Amino acid sequence: MTSMSDLVLKIKGLGKSFAGVKALDGVDLEVGRGEFVCLVGPDGAGKTTLIRLICGLEQADRGEIEYFGRQQKKLGSKERVRLGYLSQYFSLYEDLTVEENLDFFSRLYGQARNQELVERLLEFTRMTPFRQRQAGKLSGGMKQKLALACTLVHQPDLLLLDEPTTGVDPVSRRDFWQILFNLQLQGKAILMSTPYLDEAERASRVALIHQGRLLAFETPDNLKKQFAGRVFELITSDPQSWYKRLKSQAVFLDLQLFGDRLHLVVRPEVQVSEIAEFLINQGVKVEHLEEVPPGLENVFIFLINKSGGQN
Amino acid sequence: MGTVRIKPVIQKELLHIRRDPLSLVLLLVLPVFILVLYGYALNFDVKHLSLAVVDLDNSQSSRELVARLTSGEYFDLKYRPEKVSDLDELFDHEKIKIALVLPENFGRDLVSGRGPAVQILLDGTNPTPAQTGLGYLSNILMQYSTNLNLELLNRFGLNKITMPFAVRTRVWYNPELKSSKFLVPGLMAFVLMVIIVLATSLTIVREIEKKTMDQLLLSPLTPAELVVGKIIPYLGLSLIGAVVVLLAGWLLFGVAVKGNYLLLLLVVVIFLFCGLSQGLLISTVASSQLVAFLLSGISTLLPTFILSGFVFPIRNMPPVIQGISGIIPARYFLVCLRAIILKGVGLKAFYREMIFMTAYGLVITFLSLAKLKKSFFR
């Protein structure tokens, strides 16, 4: 789907263990220019490890990473400066002001004090009014925007963002996304991990990682097409105990619990009346039953359950 | 190593220091505080010893002798008990440190040339003041006794009689034998070492703890640039701290610099470099700021206090301990410092010590660089 020259990142068979525990187990992935790839998966799936390996902050046990179409054993300094990394933790100087942080990082990248660039980034991230504020005194969303601005000072071609929107309020999150889309339009490649699937819906491609393995790597639409089944939403009293009791029934390809409701996944040919009948025979007090379009969440839980993992 | 990236690191460090007033206090105020505390508390001068005299004679001669004892500032005549047995209680309750017993008929025996004996009793629990006090007291008594002899001979018309030879003592470098002159340079070494190692030991481990290190690792910054950028601001600040300590030593304890100021500056800079490199090494090894804090305390407090020759002479230590003291930079710094401040001698007397300190600083810096490079692995 992308030509070789446009390939920004290509990963083959990447593996990494920590103290004998496999964090990543043979992951293949590629990101093209102007592409926005979302990395999703449960906690501990290996998302952070993958990103840190790409940044060169950890070294892989096996596998290869190709940066910008050039294969090399180690991340070279020429390639490194084309990466922008935003860690899961706030990794700026809290006692320095917004402007001082930006200034410091831009000068680390050899740019002599570049006031114009700093101004532009402040403007771009809508941080100009807070330029004199110490980074530690910013709100969570603003901290992330500042961190993003700091990773942009050297104009990287590939952005590696590790859960940048976790713990950020919805308004700032939308802001953040707007900034990312603008970057994508500028042709930057973005690889971002997120626990929010509504974010993944907007990505060019979605990579699902589970227990260190890549379960799927597709566009959101293709992923949903792969999903062979219909989803019915059931509202009933005590969904938890019904979840346990109905789980083993062969009628259901999959059963998913979403808070106070159950999602019943069935084969495409199954009709709603059949389900209703079955449920009533089982003794379920059906309050509401309706077919819903499959969301990424359905797809992922389906895929994860299919792969044999718990979660 | 590009100098371009050292400057932003220095400026960033200065901002950290400015925003954290505690580190400024640590570097500039605490040294003087410790200097004052130790400078007054650590005092080996023996003066105003409490003295009791049991004068069983109470003659003109005995009173004259007692007057002679108390004319100086060494002894304070506190008690004059009537019986020797009364002294027990005075010693037991630490009311006196030293006592003199003059026997009955002291004066008469003196005149008749029968050579009466006087008794000195002293509290030996703390040997140093006991010995010094004994020395002072015997000296005064001997002098008195000799003078009496001469007087006697003079009376018989033998006024040309003098002693076979005279002793003229001259104490060099510290004529009043004040212990503060000896201790203050050592105290400077101690204070500077502790403070500097402490301040620098936190710098790199803080970057790791606050996760800012990742961003530095991804930037083109090299380990050497990071280390130099972190050393320079602390070197500048601790140099100011050193000047403040020197000033305080001069104003409070009268320890003036006799030697060359430039030489002193050079020695101080080299020593600070040792301390900074030690702090940096700790910072690269420690897993958290707390560990760094403890490590710097352990590696500076005791060694510079005990093994540097600050208080206890190194040559009296067993060979193994002497060997260990050989790798304590403060030991060499002290030799230089005492030489410049107290003696005013030149480079020739301590160039070896300077070479050692420089080597120490370089080796330790190299080690921390090697350790840092490992974590940079790129």
The tens digit of pLDDT for each residue in A3-36 reads 445 889 999 999 999 988 889 999 999 999 999 9
Mean pLDDT for A231-241 is 87
Interior angle at CA B131, CA B126 and CA B133, nearest 5:
100
The reported pLDDT for the residue numbered B145 is 83
pLDDT tens digit string along B303-354? 888 888 888 888 889 999 999 998 999 999 999 999 998 888 888 889 999 9
- Model confidence at B14, in pLDDT bands (50, 70, 90)? very high
Strand partners, A16: A24
Q: φ and ψ at B130, to 5 degrees?
A: -60, -45
Q: What is the mean pLDDT of chain A?
A: 87
CB pairs under 8 A between A and B: 77
Residue B253 is predicted with a pLDDT of 86
Q: Is A109 on the interface with B (CB under 8 A)?
A: yes
Is residue A170 included in any domain, yes or no? Answer: yes
In chain B, which among 155-214 make CB contacts under 8 A with chain A? 210-212, 214
Residue A146: pLDDT band by 50, 70, 90 thresholds? Answer: very high
Identify whether A268 is part of a domain. yes
Per-residue confidence (pLDDT) for residue B156, from 0 to 100: 78
Q: Are residues A214 and A114 in the same domain?
A: yes
Do B111 and B78 reside in the same domain of the chain? yes
Kindly state the tokens that stand for B151. Answer: 């007087």
Query: Do B241 and B133 share a structural domain?
Result: no
Residues B226 and B148 in one domain: no
Same domain for B98 and B185? no
**Crossing angle, helix A140-152 and helix A115-124, to 10 degrees?**
140
Q: What is the CATH number of the domain that holds B110?
A: 3.40.1710.10
CA angle B351, B353, B359 (to 5 degrees): 105
Residue A53 pLDDT exceeds 50: yes
**Residues B296 and B198 sit within 8 Å (Cβ to Cβ):** yes
The closest CB to that of B218, out of A83, A100, A107, belongs to: A83
Mark whether B87 and B209 lie in a shared domain: no
Q: What is the dihedral of CA B283, B289, B291, B292, to 10 degrees?
A: 30
On the question of pLDDT at A295 being above 90, the answer is no
Same domain, B110 and B259: no
Residues B226 and B344 in one domain: yes
Residue B8 touches partner A, C-beta closer than 8 Å: yes
For residue A75, which residues of chain B lie inside 8 Å, CB to CB? 378
A160 and A285 both lie in a single domain: no
Please tell me the total count of domains within chain A. Answer: 2
Residue type at B206 in one-letter notation: R
Chain B residues 75-94 with CB within 8 Å of chain A:
none
Whether residue B160 is contained in a domain is answered as: no
B332 and B184 in a common domain? yes
The domain in which residue A45 lies consists of: 4-218
* Predicted pLDDT of residue A85: 94
pLDDT at A73: 66
- Reported as a single tens digit per residue, the pLDDT across B279-302 is 999 999 998 999 999 999 999 988
> Which residue among B12, B20, B210 places its CB closest to the CB of A104?
B12
What is the pLDDT at residue A157?
93
- Residues of chain B positioned with their CB less than 8 A from the CB of A90: 211
Q: Do B103 and B202 have their domain in common?
A: no
A93 and A131 assigned to the same domain:
yes
Q: Which chain A residues touch B20 with a CB distance below 8 Å?
A: 95
Domain of residue B33: give its range: 3-43+179-376
Residue A113 pLDDT grade (very low, low, confident, very high; cuts 50, 70, 90) = low
Local confidence band at B2 (pLDDT 50, 70, 90 cut-offs)? low
Domain count, chain B: 2
Say yes or no: B375 contacts chain A, CB-CB below 8 A. no
CB B43 within 8 A of CB B89: no
A204 has a chain B CB within 8 A of its CB: no
Please judge whether B4 and A110 are an interchain contact, meaning their C-beta atoms are less than 8 angstroms apart: yes
Q: Is the pLDDT of residue B359 over 90?
A: yes
CA distances from A271 to A167, A236, A254, A302, B294 (A): 41, 19, 16, 20, 70
Give the model's pLDDT for residue B161.
66
Residue of A nearest to B225 (CA): A108
Q: Which of these three, A164, A189, A218, is where a domain ends? A: A218
Query: Which residue do the tokens 């033998």 mark?
Result: B158
Whether B110 maps to a domain, the answer reads yes
Count CB atoms within 10 A of the CB of residue A76: 13
Q: Does the pLDDT of residue A1 top 50, yes or no? A: no
Burial label, B153 (beta-carbon count in 10 A; 0-12, 13-18, 19+): middle
pLDDT exceeds 50 at position A2:
no
Q: Which of residues 16-35 of B touch A (CB under 8 A)?
A: 16, 19-20
Same-domain check for residues B275 and B301: yes
* Residue B162 domain flag: no
Does the beta-carbon distance from A95 to B16 stay under 8 Å?
yes
> Does the beta-carbon distance from B221 to A59 stay under 8 Å?
no
DSSP annotation string for B277-330: HHHHHHHHH-SSHHHHHHHHHHHHHHHHHHSSSSSS-GGGS-HHHHHHHTT-HH
How near does any CA of chain A get to the CA of B210, in Å? 6
Percent of chain B with pLDDT over 90: 27
A92 touches chain B (CB under 8 A): yes
- CB-count burial class (<10 Å; 0-12, 13-18, 19+) for A16: buried
Residues in chain B with CB shorter than 8 Å from the CB of A92 are 212, 215
Question: Is A306 inside any structural domain?
Answer: no
The number of beta carbons lying within 10 Å of the beta carbon of residue B65 is 24
Question: Is B15 part of the contact surface with chain A (CB cutoff 8 Å)?
Answer: yes
Quick one: pLDDT at residue B333? 94
Q: In what order do the strands lie in the sheet with A230-235?
A: A254-258, A261-266, A230-235, A288-292
Q: Are residues A110 and A89 in the same domain?
A: yes
Q: Which of A220-234, B87-101, B163-177 comes out lowest in average pLDDT?
A: B163-177
**Among residues A149, A151, A169, which one has the least CA distance to residue A160?**
A151
**B7 contacts in chain A (CB < 8 Å):** 107
Q: How far apart are CA A274 and CA A276, in angstroms?
A: 5
Q: Which residue of A has its CA nearest to B2?
A: A110
Per residue in B148-172, pLDDT tens?
Answer: 878 777 877 776 666 678 778 888 8
- Nearest CB to B220; choose among A55, A57, A77: A77
**Last residue in a domain, options A172, A196, A218:** A218
Within 13 Å, how many C-alpha atoms sit on residue B256's CB side?
Answer: 2
Query: So what's the pLDDT on residue A5?
Result: 55
Provide the token pair at B13. 């460090």
- A107 lies in the same domain as A255: no
pLDDT in tens, B115-154: 888 899 999 888 888 888 888 888 888 888 888 878 777 8
- Looking at residue A311, its pLDDT comes to 41
Q: Considering the domain boundaries, does residue B251 fall inside one?
A: yes
A243 and A152: one domain? no
Q: What is the pLDDT of residues B209-268, one digit of tens each?
A: 988 988 998 888 888 899 899 989 998 988 998 898 889 888 988 888 888 999 999 999
- Phi (first) and psi of residue A307, to 5 degrees: -75, -5
